[in-house]
Chains A and B, each alone.
Chain A
Amino acid sequence: MEIVLETKNLTKKFKNIIAVDNLNLVVYKGDVFGFLGPNGAGKSTTIRMLTSLIYPDSGEVYLFNEQLKPNSKSVLRRVGAIVESPDFYLYLTAYKNLEILGRLYGITPAKNQIMEILEFVGLSNRWNSKVKTFSHGMKQRLGIAQALLHNPDLIILDEPTTGLDPQGMKEIRQLVLSLSKEKGKTIFISSHLLYEVELIANRMIIINKGKKIVEGYVKELLDRERTTYNFNLSNLEKAKDILISLNLEMNKDFRINGSDLEISTQKISASQLNKIFVQNEIEVYAFYPKRSLEEFFLEITQGQK
């Protein structure tokens, strides 16, 4: 697989605080890569290093197998980015902002090109309005527009749904998905909202205190975490006896958690257990995977504190 973005031992300190600590990550072509971590984990610092806004104390950033250096930024032509909230020249119109920001990539965007992008992000009717009249959501969409204007291969989005209402968040997610599926872009998206990443990313990394906690395919990480199930049953004692008879160990393979039976084993599947309980006349009111990715995230990041 073609590597689009790679960091090697990326480290950044601010005085005595290590914001990013020997971070290694790899993003492949076509990925929607979720970059997760709680507030203050070092996500924005990392993204600023990926986009040359700040320089690492040590370690390297490779974009399209080319090292990003202070005096060698030409590779940024292939990158479009929103770093934190997108800010524009408020005294200029949306159109003029895009024209200026496009020219900084060395292109002179044609009017129809700018209008197409504005249409794509749903701002074509406000092309001639000054940005100071825009809402936060409109600025976010304009931010995506400026990131797409030069048709980049890699799009870096730093918490693009922050401050948006649920409808706005949904629109941005759909926009990201269409960029990935319809336009074939590689997307690096940071967020502290796990469900957001679950919905759109195929691979992800979780960092905390500047360090990588886990990296991998979202589906695999979710499946791994979904080996723990909770059963809400009519008769816990009877269920416990059945499990013991199946050679499952109390407090290892299962435990009673309040009114629930919590089962964490790969010896038997949840659906088989459900069948057994029903056959033994135990009513199963509910059974569900105990941990979502969000709980997993909270557990591992809080475990770091």
Chain B
Amino acid sequence: MIFTLLSIELYKIFKKWRTYIGFLAFGVFIPILIYGVSQGGNHYQRILERNLGDQFLIVGNLLNGWYVAFITIQAMIIHIPFFISLVAGDLFAGEGTAGTYRMFLTRPISRELVVITKYLAGFIYTLVFLIFFALLSTLPSIYFLGTGDLIVPLEKIVVIPSSEIIWRFLIAYFSSFISMCVVVSLAALFSSLVNNSIGPIVGTMAVIVIFLIIGELPFELFEKISPYLFTKYMTVWLEAFDYPIDWSEIIKSLSILLAHILLFFSITLLSFRKKDILT
């Protein structure tokens, strides 16, 4: 029955227009970005070379396909969570809004199974979306802009040799997937509590944005709170572009994120199994 339910959930997700908003947005944005870099990249490269030229001997193309892929993966912080919460926030609440709980839950299926399959469907949607995103942000940009070493201009400048780039991106995308599953779980939890998907979407984004802001504020109080905010660990994918990679930090962050997924799932399960369907 679990596969039947899961296939039905996936069918419902991929039959809704809102599911494709994220695909559409990145499908439009990334080609524009690639085109923009290819057209005006020389000026930006000169700025980079001027700033880095004192410390590095720069040879080759800095604004290559990998660099564009690195720019686009920053969308994992805000943009992708938004598109994911659009779908995940509707998982339960959408049934409430449409009144289909009355059709769905009068069947001989346990509510636990309903929660499990809705979560799994949310995770699968996220996986599909991230694979699309990863392919779109790497393949065309590599094709049009070429390859080379990757310059990571964050807190410190890291130069990743081309031989290491692919597996580092794989680690980054895998970590992003776990991070985005936390977003799915939080949005699904909110979704299970109400009967309108706007609340869960706004609520999820509000939590993420507020937690991100609190986590970045350079004050003692917020610095003490920061380790308890799951958003601190959602940028774990950045570790994949550090040198050397801090594996213990990645494992710790992923463990904390998985614990949050489990926590949000458990709360959803407990509340939904007792929920009175009044819509």
Contact between B108 and A103, CB atoms less than 8 A apart: no
In the complex, chain B residues whose CB is within 8 Å of the CB of A91: 15-17
Q: In chain A, what residue has the closest Cβ to B109?
A: A104
Contact between A88 and B105, CB atoms less than 8 A apart: no
Q: In chain B, what residue has the closest Cβ to A53?
A: B277
Interface presence of B156 (CB below 8 A):
no
In-complex Cβ contact of B12 among A83, A87, A89 (8 A): A89
Cα of A73 to Cα of B110 in the assembled complex, Å: 7
Looking at the complex, which of B93-101, B220-228, B233-241 is the stretch in contact with chain A?
Answer: B93-101
Count, A-B residue pairs, CB within 8 A: 76
Looking at the complex, which of A74-82, A176-184, A239-247, A291-299 is the stretch in contact with chain B?
Answer: A74-82
Q: How many residues of A contact B (CB 8 A)?
A: 32
Contact with A along B1-36 (1 / 0, CB 8 A): 100110010011001110000000000000000000
Interface presence of A274 (CB below 8 A):
no
Scan residues 75-113 of chain A and give those whose CB is less than 8 A from a CB of chain B: 75-77, 79, 81, 83-92, 100-101, 103-106
In the complex, chain A residues whose CB is within 8 Å of the CB of B5: 104
- Asked whether A53 and B102 contact (CB < 8 A) given A92-B15, A100-B11, A103-B8, the answer is yes
Contact between B273 and A76, CB atoms less than 8 A apart: no
Contact between A105 and B100, CB atoms less than 8 A apart: no
A interface secondary structure, majority:
loop
In the complex, chain B residues whose CB is within 8 Å of the CB of A88: 98, 100, 103
Q: In chain A, what residue has the closest Cβ to B105?
A: A53
Cα of A74 to Cα of B4 in the assembled complex, Å: 16
16 pairs, A vs B, C-beta closer than 8 Å: A53-B106, A54-B276, A55-B276, A70-B110, A70-B111, A76-B106, A76-B107, A76-B108, A89-B15, A89-B98, A92-B15, A100-B12, A101-B103, A103-B8, A104-B104, A106-B1
The 4 closest A-B pairs by CB, nearest first: A87-B99, A104-B107, A54-B276, A53-B277
- What residues of chain B have their CB less than 8 Å away from a CB belonging to chain A? 1, 4-5, 8, 11-12, 15-17, 98-111, 273-274, 276-278
